[in-house]
């Protein structure tokens, strides 16, 4: 398959590139269990993640001023801990736990797929994660990005159109020269509306074994792939 | 040598990481000589570069609205070509020539030095070059950056303090956790004023064999190195 004129692939990261659910569950257990906290750690990760979209929505609609994702994660964490009656954590522990999101593992196909794709395309993050989060994650996991872009440099959270358009502008490319790559239908639909090409990558257990959404491509995206190795194959890399 | 607490090295790029003078001379000759233009190509590169600081100064002092460096380079190129009476270039040729700045070669020690430094530190560009320029240059030359930062994402041209402070903020670091690395005394002095650590790397022929400035470190910087391999050595990488 050839997608004429595409020069850069821009990537959703949480869920698409990395497995946040298992990683956050592991990190939370490693930090909190020794302190005597007993939880279903995957449910803990899900509950933290459930506060993600509502927090960004406050920024999108102007109810809250701009806050980078590390800071939204921290507000959501404190809210979650209070709800669960987990108290007495010192600042260093809270900060380390909050930065669990910097220590997410890639899916098994991620590194091979990105490495192959990078031979032909510019690879840039286009995530709602902030720059430091993306840099630290990439350094730990060995993700071979050419550029860290996304919400913080665009000052807009996806699916706001500015998030995509400013990424293309930073890359010096037209929207149609960029292909948004994501495991989420709504992200690709929003990118497509501003002229990006689209690649859907299936991540059927991002939300665990009973995942209810994004279990298939629901629109006519330019490429539909089973994983990043399949995507590389389909793009001739 | 150990610089306690430094987590990221931020890099000046033009002159420090890459040899702009020989590269621009080569690119200009390759594009213009076949069209019958005769020039001293190093003088051509010097004359183009001489317009760099004055153009940024107009942005810094508000005489000109924000323009990314690709656009300042283009204005300066058109000015230079007019002055030299070189006309009749089509848009594709002008654009390709303007993007000579995306095709600069690293100094011989750059790749080895950066590769060693990257094992221990986050490496980020903190250049006045725009994101696309830095991404394309890195892709072509194999520069192993962890992040592309600098003027365009900070919306401020060095040596304005915001250029440095916003880079540290994007990295989630305090200024003293960042070490500005440059071949230019004024860049390091400005970084130092906002709390950055400083590393001077000698590039004695950046401006050619008769270079008059930046031929030595003129201040008490944290590290002074002969090149990037020496810098890696001095930082224990």
pLDDT at residue A2, as a whole number: 53
Q: Which of A147, A152, A166, A168 to mutate to test the interface with B (most CBs of B within 10 A)?
A: A147
Decide if B125 touches A, using CB distance below 8 A: no
Which chain B residues have a beta carbon less than 8 Å from that of A70?
172
Mean pLDDT calculated for residue range A181-192: 98
Share of residues in chain B with pLDDT > 70 (%): 99
CA distance A38 to chain B (A): 31
pLDDT at residue A72, as a whole number: 98
- Interval B9-48: pLDDT, tens: 999 999 999 999 999 999 999 999 999 999 999 999 999 9
List of E strands, chain B: 8-11, 18-19, 105-106, 122-127, 147-150, 178-182, 197-201, 223-225
Higher pLDDT among residues A140 and B4, named by residue: A140
CA distances from B138 to A8, A137, B24 (A): 14, 20, 16
pLDDT at residue A110, as a whole number: 98
Say if residues A96 and A31 touch (Cβ distance below 8 Å).
yes
Mean pLDDT calculated for residue range B199-204: 98
Which chain B residues have a beta carbon less than 8 Å from that of A156?
none
Q: Is the pLDDT at B205 greater than 80, yes or no? A: yes
Residue A169's closest chain B neighbor by CA?
Answer: B132
Decide if B111 touches A, using CB distance below 8 A: no
pLDDT band at residue A203 under the 50/70/90 scheme: very high
Say if residues A197 and A3 touch (Cβ distance below 8 Å).
yes
pLDDT band at residue B2 under the 50/70/90 scheme: low
Which chain A residues have a beta carbon less than 8 Å from that of B146?
135, 138-139, 148
Say if residues A146 and A7 touch (Cβ distance below 8 Å).
no
DSSP state of B181: E
CA distance B170 to chain A (A): 6
Say if residues B16 and B134 touch (Cβ distance below 8 Å).
no
* Pick from B122, B132, B139: CB nearest A135: B122
The pTM of the full predicted model, rounded to 2 decimals, is: 0.97
Which chain A residues have a beta carbon less than 8 Å from that of B152?
170
Which domains, ranges and CATH numbers included, belong to chain A? 8-17+107-234 (3.40.50.1000), 20-102 (1.10.150.240)
Decide if B122 touches A, using CB distance below 8 A: yes
CA distance A214 to chain B (A): 30
Which B residues 62-91 touch A at CB under 8 Å? 70
Q: Where are the alpha helices (DSSP H) in B146-216?
A: 151-154, 161-170, 185-193
* Pick from A70, A139, A172: CB nearest B172: A70
Decide if A132 touches B, using CB distance below 8 A: yes
Q: How far apart are CA B34 and CA B31, in angstroms?
A: 6
Decide if A146 touches B, using CB distance below 8 A: yes
pLDDT at residue B40, as a whole number: 98
pLDDT at residue B3, as a whole number: 81
Share of residues in chain A with pLDDT > 90 (%): 98
Q: Is the pLDDT at B1 greater than 90, yes or no? A: no
Q: State the ipTM, two decimals.
A: 0.96
Residue B70's closest chain A neighbor by CA?
Answer: A172
CA distance A139 to chain B (A): 7
Residue B129 neighbours by CB under 8 Å, 6+ apart: B13, B14, B69, B101, B137, B150, B151, B152
pLDDT at residue B112, as a whole number: 98
Decide if A170 touches B, using CB distance below 8 A: yes
- Interval A40-99: pLDDT, tens: 999 999 999 999 999 999 999 999 999 999 999 999 999 999 999 999 999 999 999 999
CA distances from A25 to A48, A95, B124 (A): 10, 16, 31
Decide if B155 touches A, using CB distance below 8 A: no
Mean pLDDT calculated for residue range B98-121: 98
* Pick from A132, A135, A171: CB nearest B135: A171
The CA-CA-CA angle for residues A78, A34, A79, to 5°, reads 10
Decide if B108 touches A, using CB distance below 8 A: no
- Interval B115-165: pLDDT, tens: 999 999 999 999 999 999 999 999 999 999 999 999 999 999 999 999 999
* Pick from B131, B170, B171: CB nearest A171: B131
Say if the Cβ atoms of B153 and A171 lie within 8 Å.
no
Q: What is the residue-averaged pLDDT of chain A?
A: 97
Q: How far apart are CA A125 and CA A134, in angstroms?
A: 8
Backbone angles phi, psi at B80, to 5 degrees: -65, -45
Q: How far apart are CA B84 and CA B73, in angstroms?
A: 16
Q: How far apart are CA A47 and CA A125, in angstroms?
A: 25
CA distance B118 to chain A (A): 9
CB burial string B131-160: b at 16+ within 10 A, e below: bbbbbbbbbebebebbbbbbbbbbebbbbb
Say if the Cβ atoms of B146 and A130 lie within 8 Å.
no
Q: What DSSP assignment string belongs to chain A?
A: ---TT--EEEE--BTTTEEHHHHHHHHHHHHHGGGT----HHHHHHHHHHTHHHHHHHHHTTSS----HHHHHHHHHHHHHHHHT-----HHHHHHHHGGGGSPEEPTTHHHHHHHHHTTSEEEEEESS-HHHHHHHHHHHT---SEEEEHHHHTS-TTSHHHHHHHHHHTT--GGGEEEEES-HHHHHHHHHTT-EEEEE--TTTT-TT--SSSS--S--SEEESSHHHHHHHTT-
């Amino acid at each position: 398959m050839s997608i004429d004129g595409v020069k850069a692939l821009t990537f959703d990261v949480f869920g698409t590139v990395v497995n946040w659910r298992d990683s956050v569950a592991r990190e939370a257990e490693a930090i909190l269990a020794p302190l005597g906290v007993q939880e279903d750690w995957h449910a803990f990760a899900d509950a933290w993640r459930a506060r993600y979209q509502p927090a960004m929505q406050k920024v999108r609609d102007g109810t809250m001023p701009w806050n980078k994702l590390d800071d939204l994660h921290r507000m959501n964490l404190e809210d979650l801990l209070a709800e669960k009656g987990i108290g007495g954590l010192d600042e260093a522990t809270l900060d380390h736990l909050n930065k669990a999101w910097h220590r997410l593992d890639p899916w098994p196909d991620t590194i091979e797929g990105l490495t192959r794709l990078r031979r032909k395309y510019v690879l840039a993050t286009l995530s709602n994660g902030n720059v430091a989060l993306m840099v630290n994650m990439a350094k730990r996991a060995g993700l071979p990005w050419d550029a860290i872009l996304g919400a913080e440099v665009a000052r807009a959270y996806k699916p706001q159109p500015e998030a995509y358009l400013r990424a293309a502008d930073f890359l010096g490319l037209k929207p149609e020269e960029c292909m948004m790559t994501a495991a989420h239908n709504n992200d690709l639909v929003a990118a497509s509306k501003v002229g990006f090409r689209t690649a859907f990558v299936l991540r059927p257990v991002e939300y665990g074994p009973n995942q209810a959404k994004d279990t298939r491509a629901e629109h006519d995206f330019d490429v539909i792939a089973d994983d990043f190795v399949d995507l590389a194959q389909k793009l001739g890399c």
